[in-house]
Each structure stands twice: as C-alpha cells, then as structure tokens.
Amino acid sequence: MSLSALFIQLLNGLASASSLFLVAAGLSIIFGITRIVNFAHGSLYMLGIYTAYSLVQTFGGGMLGFWGGVLCAGIVVGLFGALVERLLLRRLYHAPELLQLLATFALVLIVRDFALWIWGPEDLLGPRAPGLAGAVAIAGREFPQYDLFLIALGPVVLLLLWLLLTRTRWGTLVRAATEDREMAGALGVNQAWLFTSVFALGSFLAGLGGAVQIPREPAVLTMDLTILSDVFVVVVVGGMGSIPGAFLAAVLIGVIKAFCIGIGNVSLFGLDFSFSKLTLVIEFVVMAVVLAFRPWGLLGRRQGLPRGAAPVEAPLHLPSTGMLKALAAMLALLALLPFVSDRYTLVLLTDILVFALFAVSLHFIMGPAGMHSFGHAAYFGLGAYAAALLLKHAVPMELALALAPLGGGLAALFFGWFCVRLSGVYLAMLTLAFAQIAWSVVYQWDDFTGGSNGLVGIWPAPWLASGSAFYYLALVLCAAAVLLLWRLVYTPFGYALRACRDSPLRADAIGIDVRRQQWLGFALAGLFAGLAGAIYAFSKGSISPDSLSIPRSVDGLVMVLMGGIQTLTGAVAGAAVFTWLQDVITRQTEFWRALLGAVILFLLLAFPQGIAGFLRERWEARAGRSDG
C-alpha cells in the first residue's frame, strides 16, 4: 500500500471513529451513573438514523433542512431516552442490575419492530449533505468533504463534553454520582433528575451519532445490534465511564479497521490472507489484547462495586422429598407426552428441552459462579458445528453427538482462561467479544463451515429418525445433563464456585485457587452448552451461524433472568416460557419481537424476582401461613 493510500485510510478511519465515539460516549455516561449496560443504546442509534432520514425528507434537503433535521433527530432521540428512563427504568432501579439489562433488551425488540412498522424493511439511504456533498483532493486522491466534517466532529464533541462535565455544576454532579452514587445521594443530590438528564444526554449522543451517518450509511433494521457490539468494544477498550478513553478507543479501532480494509488481500508465504475479512473480528481482537494487559481499559479505573445492590442469595438446601417427587412426576409426564401430542408439539418440546439445557448451563456460571456471560451461545453453536462437521467427515451420528460437546468445552476452556482474569461487566464484555470472534470465523470460513449458509443434512441416525424417538433422545440427554448440573451445585465443586463468587478474598485465604476454580466452572458450562447445541443441530437437520450469534446469547440471558437467577430451577422455567412464547407469538404477528419485548417488560415489572423466584416466594408465604 502506498503512502498516500495509507493516509487516505487513516482519514477514513478517523471519519468512522467520530460517529462511533458519539454513541460510545453516550453509553459510557449512562453506564457511569446508572450502572446499567444499556442494550438499547444501539437501538437509539438506529432511531437516530431513521428519524434523521424522515426529518430531512420532510424539511427538504436544503441547508437548513438537512442540518436541522440531523440535529432535531438527535433531540428527538434524546427526549425518547428521557421518556424511557422516566416511564420504565425508573421502576427498576431497585431491581437487581441484570434485570435492568433485561429491560433494555426488551426495548431493543420493541424499537426494532417500531422501526419496521414505521419505515419498513427496505434499506434507506439519506441525501448528501448540502454544502459538503463534494470531494477534495488529498494526497492525489478524492476524499469526501463530508468525511472531513465528521473527522472534526469527534474532537469538537469531546471538547464540549469535557467542558460540560468539568465546568458546569451539572457536570460536577454527574462526575460525583459516577464516582459514588450512594454518597452523592447522601449529600442531597436529586438523583431522579440527574438520572433522567444523563439518560437524555446519552440518548441524544446516540441519536446524533446515528443521524450524522445518513449520507454515508443506509438505515438498516439490523444495525442496532451491529453498532451495539462495536460500541461495547469501544467503551470497554477505552475504560467504562471514561469519555477521553472512549475517544481514544474509537479512533484506535476506526483506524485499525480502515487499514484492514485498505490492505485487502495479502499473499504471505503462499497463503492468501484477507485483511478485509478481518474487519469483522479485528475490534474484538484489539479488545482481547487490551483487556489482557489493562483489565480496566486504556483510561479506565477499577469500578467501585455499588453497595448492597443485589440481595444476597439465601443458603441452598437440598431439595425436599416433595420437590423430588414433583420433579419425577414432571419427567414422567414428559415421557408420556408423545402418546398424546402431535408432531408439532414434539418439535416444540424438543426445542424447549434443548434450550432448557442451554439456559441451565448459562445459569451455572451466572448464578453459583457469579460470572455473567453475554456470549454463551458461542459454546452452544460450536457444539452444534462440531456435531455437524463430525457427521460430514463420516463420523457415525452417535459418536458425533458424544464428541460434539467437546467443541463447546474446549472453546470455553480456551476463552475462559482469559475471561476469568476479569470480573463484572468487563468479563461480560469479553465473553461477548469471544462469541463475536467465534461467530465471524464460522461465518467467513466458507470451505469448512459453509459460511453464512451453514451446513445442511445433519440428520440423526435412522433409528432416531422418527419424531418421538428423537424426542426421547433429547429428553433423556437434556434431563440427565440438567440434573447433573443441578447436583453439581451441591457438591464440593459447586460450593467452591459459590465461595469464589461470595468472597474471592476469603476463598483465597482458605487455599482456593479462585481463577482455576472459575476457569473449570466456565469450561464445564461450555461443555454442557455444547451438548445442547449438538442435540439442536440434529433436531433441525441443519446449522447456521445464527446459532452462535449475539441474539442467541441474549436469548439465553433472557431465559435465565426471566426464570430468576437466584433459583436453581428458574432457568428451566425461563427457557420453557421464552421458547413457547416465541413460538406462539411468531405465529400470531409479523411484529412478534415487539410483542415478545412487551411480554418481557410485563413479566419484569410484575415479577422482579423471576418466575421461579416469584413462585418460591408464594410457596414460602403459604407455607409460613399454614405453619402459623
């Protein structure tokens, strides 16, 4: 690559960094003060683009129309954010943090369908910016004027934010509350107002970051999650809560990405290597490297834990005989179902069994081990692909099914080694990053994994071909695996994991190697997720990269949280309800996401302890009454 081409790529990188920075700064500010990982932040960005598109259409593409439209789009999204905070999140500040995260994910679903309803499924590209529609010659090449504007926008917004946060009373309050929310509250800061305004500002930045993209990028319905993973990476690389860090990280990632595109295909030692394909993962590689050396990001600091945020889990008791009987009755019922139900129900039940195992394996590391994974689908998907690939390479189906979980387990062993070095939200982000890396490898490796088409013809052996035979296989394997995972929680191994979660300091002082323990737990959960994935692959007969995508990981989170993270059985209840709901709702309406989101929000507001947690509370209340 020539020097001038290199320079142009540098400018390209800086131009795309600006928008990324705006969105990331918004996320960072919101996280700093509310400690909510706002999954809906990408949706705000998407709303920004769509709104700007419509406003510019309405106002006309003139000077005032365009720039006014872009700015108004930011403001509209800002107001929307404030509204969401007041009407929804406000009610959840006392709920455990993870449930707040779940609420923001429900918003993702609702906003996605809202956009589909208003703007339709077509990609929409906005007009060019009046006054900046041309190109200038730089280093002998044409470079869009608009991109030069974007390059300048980032530093200007950084400066304005810096002035706002350091030179105004409001900014001082925000910084104080970011540092120590309880103390700021104790000093009489009106938190309600502060939270709303911070949410409005963060949403405005996300909306504006989207709006300025309209001449460069078409508005697409899937951009909410795409930008979200980019922004997560920027915020984590920069350091949670650090605005200059977000800027630095956005520039770093923007530039590295642009270079990868610029370099293109390179032949090294006879091997063709495509750098442009690398763009899908490069940011996650950067993140993994940065976190390995600076666990709190480039300019971040270790986060103080919010005091007493989550209620302490009650001690675990071995299930009573009544519980065991109920469990046995449940299994017997499931075993008898094929005699009375149709084929469709059996397929749905098989799905439920598979996802119950997936959710229980996720709960195993999230609950007892206290490691919140945002990328658990990676191990599910890798198990599924392992099964498919073994079958394709002439391994008998039974053996493929037996070996496939190792695909998930070994990946978890490898990724987990890095993940357990971090904790809290950083760990969550790193799991997400690894899942994205795994996804893009699978997505791009056409020759081996079938690329975006996936693999087809993954059918079970003939003796399992009938619907009920495979159902029984799924029932036996999933039930056995779930029971094994549950029992594991009561063994010394499970106690050690809970010990490491409750107090790493004390665990260390009684001779427990905390990281090793968590590492083993992580790998084990990956192994069981891999088993779920393998069963899934054979039940569907095909497998696609969707099986390890971020939405699949989020499905797992929703199941665990809907069921209630503090109960062992919750994950199964959550998986059943979620899978069933998804099935019912997708058949009812085109806007199934919005409906699902609304149901999740309703469940959250009605049962903040999760379904199983709610049932347990009722049970205990009744037992208490009958005792007295």
Partner 1 sequence: MNILRVARLSKAYGGVQAVREVSFELAAGELLALIGPNGAGKTTCFNLLNGQTAADGGSAEFEGRSLIGLKPRQIWRLGVGRTFQITATFASMTVRENVQTALLNYHGKLNSILALAERLYLDEAMALLARVGMAEQAARPCAVLAYGDLKRVELAIALANRPRLLLMDEPTAGMAPAERVALMRLTAELARASNIAVLFTEHDMDVVFAHADRILVLNRGRLIAEGKPAEVRANREVQEVYLGSGSLFGATHA
Compare residues 270 and 315 and give the one whose CB is closer to partner 1: 315
Residue number with CB closer to partner 1 (268 or 510): 510
Q: Which is nearer to partner 1, 176 or 512 (CB)?
A: 512
Gyration radius (Cα) of the chain, Å: 25
Residues 314/306, Cβ–Cβ less than 8 Å: no
462 close to 583: Cβ distance less than 8 angstroms: no
Residues 6+ apart with CB under 8 A from 574: 359, 558, 559, 560, 561, 562, 563, 564, 610, 611, 612
| Closer residue to partner 1 (CB): 133 or 512 | 512
278-274-248 Cα angle (round to 5):
35
Sign of CA dihedral 572, 575, 576, 577: positive
Between 171 and 319, CB nearer to partner 1: 319
Residue closer to partner 1 by CB (options 312, 340) is 312
Least distance from C-beta 346 to partner 1, angstroms?
Answer: 33
Query: In the bound complex, what is the minimum distance in angstroms from residue 406's beta carbon to partner 1?
Result: 18
Minimum CB distance to partner 1, residue 113 (Å): 39
CB of 365 to partner 1, least distance (A): 15
For partner 1, the binding residues (CB under 8 A) are 312-316, 318, 488, 490-496, 498-499, 501-503, 505-513, 520
Q: At closest approach, how far in Å is the CB of 528 from partner 1?
A: 13
Least Cβ distance, residue 494 to partner 1 (angstroms):
7
Chain position carrying tokens 């970011």: 178
Give SS3 for 168. coil
Comparing C-alpha atoms, which of 308, 232, 306 is closest to residue 34?
306
Read out DSSP for 587-615? HH-TTHHHHHHHHHHHHHHH-TT-HHHHH
Is the Cβ of residue 318 or residue 333 nearer to partner 1 in the bound state?
Answer: 318
Minimum gap (Å) between residue 511 Cβ and partner 1 = 4
Query: What is the rounded CA–CA span in Å between residue 115 and residue 349?
Result: 32
Q: How far is the CB of 525 from partner 1 (least distance, A)?
A: 14
Q: Which of 497, 529, 613 is nearest to 565 (CA)?
A: 613
Instruction: Tell me the two tokens of residue 321.
Output: 């005989």
Whichever of 314 and 399 has its CB closer to partner 1, that residue is 314
Shortest reach from residue 30's CB to partner 1, in Å: 29
Distance, in Å, from the CA atom of 574 to the CA atom of 210, rounded to the nearest integer, reads 34
Residues in the chain: 628
Closest CA to 77 of 53, 106, 57: 53
Residue among 176, 155, 193, 232 at smallest CA distance from 431:
232
Q: 529 or 599: whose CB is closer to partner 1?
A: 529
Q: Which is nearer to partner 1, 275 or 490 (CB)?
A: 490
Q: How far is the CB of 355 from partner 1 (least distance, A)?
A: 24
Cβ atoms of 289 and 239 closer than 8 Å? no
Nearer to partner 1, 346 or 531 (CB): 531
Give, to the nearest 10 degrees, the angle between helix 243-263 and helix 275-293.
150
3-state SS string for 264-301: CEEEECCEEEEHHHHHHHHHHHHHHHHHHHCCCCCCCC
Neighbour count for residue 139 (Cβ, 10 Å): 13
Minimum CB separation of residue 527 from partner 1 in Å reads 13
